[in-house]
Structure 1
């Protein structure tokens, strides 16, 4: 690489990252520039630029559904035939269209007189209701019993239509689907879904009503509109309660458990009441109006969309803000995913975004041609959005492409150790409750062992994944610590090796013939070596240390042992027990991670001083120092020895060329407590295991630039335009950045 190409690559990478900050909707342009930067030169800067933009791309599963002016959208509540979800859109010229999201095929179209203002599926998807500006409320059935359609053929048919004076701006089905409420001007009307002529109740409220919400048990209905919010029983208008809310309330919602109700309005105040509206439990005041409010599926949090360019998540238990998510213009709507882990936002900055809100991490950014006015999460993380300019309905499949698995944990029980099998099939965890847990990703099965005394401080698969080794931890009675070796297939311990202290560190050689252990405690601190070919017999007497041992490593050929403690690392030749001290600089550094190079010539160490050090195995001489952002807590190396990677306490994973020690990639794992990292067998992917407050997160990333480029091109919809080529690459002829996409326009 010459200086000129490196400078050009860095410039393109800088422009790519600047676009994501300066122009929120420019994620496609940003990604294309990052691809051009990576192709120009594979540098840490280009790698990071491509990863940043790629993280925000989502897979579009539907083209624009209509060229008319879309105003409202709604997803069905379940997957039909276990394959398809329905997505409905209503336009300003009266067209309603229902589409299968997997195939993009329209399955129902209907034309009304007047703009479509409200759409809703019943919770069992037996009914579909439409409200229009001309005062029409129409109910369609989707079941064969109503429509007289052939078996297995789903068809919408009208079962009732009512005409009222004034616009119908809100529609809501009861949880059982047998009743429908509509907001018609300043009236709320409730009637049977199967027969709209059977009115159960008609309630008049002051001012136009714009939002309706049934309580989960179906006994209460809430409304919001020009003159605030109200709650009333759906069987009688005699008991109507006015809530203490804004003069104009824009949104109202019951919590899924039915215990709470939240409101928002033009006064910039979000309120949470008990379900009967008697007590105001939470009150959050902001400077700008609040556009919408929604509860999380577990009823523990409420999200609000603000006119101050933010979305916020409030903890119901404490009343504190759990997340503050920034946009560059008004946030018009928010919605949680089915599992509550993600929050989708719609903004006037021309983007819809999806956040892992607990980590304040942006998972996807969906650029549109104008302000985003409507957003809707459907089954299996399908997301539909509408923009204000062309008002075209688009649907996306939102996938956290990095996340392989999220294992819930008990907050009161600390997970102390995690290891990943080399075939990426198994995950082993050790906890302070003394239980070893093993999870199989391929079939979601798991097993446990509670044979440990005290906690489980360390876990380790051997290279063939035949054995799983564990070390006892804290609260072990003095002199009773053990190392246990489990046979993975039988799930039973085949060997117990007594130790005199906490076993903090474990390591095998490549052939699984040598097992090394390191202990941690106030006395009898030692490293031990066992011969696995002779039933794990002591290879030689313990090697005493002055300080607790944080890490051990055995060279791939089994000839060397390395140990790292609170001051230094040492290298032992196992044939004669000769010792070589690593020539640290400075003299004393706590070593937290160790790994030998595949050729057995180098030792890589990670320290709590935010550095990696590389030593010559024979002499202990320091070869190179690689600075990091924080303490280096984990190391891994590819099977072919060409790459190694580090993970820091700050959650950053760095990838290095093993031959020269040059950094070629950097990944922000967005999790600070990384316990383990491991390359795949082919070296193309890397997995991380990190501990959060409520779960263990297993994430996977592509390692090499070409794989990142191919993945980005699979999600992009276009190449750079000729105008963009002129702006960013003026001295080059336009070409296809992604060969599978059309020529620049």
Structure 2
């Protein structure tokens, strides 16, 4: 089994804190999620997480006008400059203090940062593609200027269109105007008059007006004018020249009762002003008349950030309290994107049997279904009234079962997305574990309150049996994949094997050395793995009830000291066990995770640790540091737990939201530092990925299958130029394709692939070396998504299956992933062609109806020409029946598919 898994995506968290950014084209949205940045593709409905990670949570991000450089800064002022197209971090830099605001100039040559009360302007580092020589700078961050003058933290920075001036808004109730370079006759200007902190300030499109918004809901309009005359005096020309300065010409106010303005954004091109309030309402206004377009309540808590895309059509909102991210199209009044993560920590997860979805459950009582391809949550179930502890699919994959602390087991139909069965016990119990028979006929659940195991019939919903025998709370349940037996683990230090379908219902106890935490069945149903509280993993034969092997995982899983620990991670006792274990799809490996920052992958046969994955390096979480730092221990306790909110300047920041003794509920209010832990792991059915439910979200690790530059069997003669020469001059397509695959450069392979005539495909494939066949299969499957040449790709797939069929079937285990990708591509193309054919049928029926109506109207006029009818009605030219000499019945099949004649698609122009 391959073990080179790499982090590929982060689901379950869409927004944490900081600012949101639209890409210059307005199609992508950048959102900080903890110490990472996730990019949402709003047009193609996909998301991906950039591979780098900070050592603390990200405070602010900035994007240059080209959209190819992203500057992200964490809470300590550590910055990472990333190349977006290549997704590669270029530079690391430290601003040495907390960054409160960040903005790139429209020219793309400078960026300004607010470092507390101080402003600094820096040159934007040049990238290899912008340098004429293509070299990377040795010292990329060069400071241009430093500005001081504010008396409190700078909250917002905005540049003018020509990049000559910029505005800075601060908590000291003022906005200041600065120039990038010394300007003749210009002195830095202070705009004062607000009674609370200024949230934002913007130039108008013509730069003749400045709008400022303060926290108390005041909107001031400033213009550069002279002193207005009093009633009893006339304006003189010399005074007009002397007393020219920025003055308030209009005052407007948001009428939102006691709510304060949390964020605001202005779009100069369309004069749109949008403001987000602390009561979850946002308002959209048109300036300078301050006409309200509409207001909408989008959250239960305050809106933390709002931004507008370049065209002014989409508004993006972030609310950190509930982890909400919204993109709103204000003209059509519809959501482009509406996502929310789990409010509380996740407890369990499971892959759907087709491997396309992941289901997560959490303490907030919600079940979320995540689509792996897009990275979005597609369904949320809220019927449970308390924390959900376990989830499992039936074997067919259409029914999901969940257990909850509210005392119910629920069955969900994932075709109609509804709860169709609810199972309860005779007495009120909080179920902590659950297992489903592979046939989907029986569901079993265990509780920490009762020592019995309850079994229900799925068909009738009736309680069938209660299995007694354990002397402590039941902590884990697992059915054998073949449905033969049920294994239960308990805190009484035993695991029991139950034959619930036999007449005797015998119970085989397995004695262990510590409390059982989790049990996993090997896919062949012959072996079980048991994780216990002392950090041991033991492997048992189901048929003989004998231990086959075991290993000590305490040293492997141990890592990370909590903020309250007064000893190093190696001596901490609470992290040295595995709370969740799962076998791989082929049963050769075991994946294990617990209350630490590590996930361990073991070989079942050799009992060797194959790989260790670090869940998070985020120091904003408790449990990620290894060693004790005496500087962070004070007389009053750990420095991280001392509440310094009493010194905050804003009243709502000083408010004490802590609830004594509360463990569950709102983690952001009750816990200053959440602890890093892994509450669930699962392998995908194909075995090419696994996911882990952690404190930061749902982490996806997958095998790196992307075609990167990986030269294969090269010599001096094989170069891109030589490959193109063989292709264009010698017309030796087989040799050119093999040379391209040996170079393994994606652009070159695509060029050679598309240059091969369709008549030569069978001949090229017949003599194609089998060592390159898996790569060619994957490449052709990828081309079906990118290339419009459907028939060309299908001819390649058909030729590969025809010529190399015996080799493919003999090596199916090695190329199973490639075959799955090809099957998915063929299915998608079939659906697209069928949809197109159906559209053609409906259009033809419409044209026939129009022809009949025209003939009736003209009293039997001449036959309406097909092509002219299509052109007159504004539909594409669909069928050339007269040119082909075919009737409508010949062209359209009963299934709605298109007939292929003379090697071309009839029905597609």
Q: TM-score under structure 1 normalisation?
A: 0.44
Relative to total residues, which structure has the larger strand share, 1 or 2? 1
Larger radius of gyration: 2
Query: Which fold has the larger relative contact order, with Cα–Cα distance below 8 Å and residues 6 or more apart in sequence?
Result: 1
Q: TM-score under structure 2 normalisation?
A: 0.36
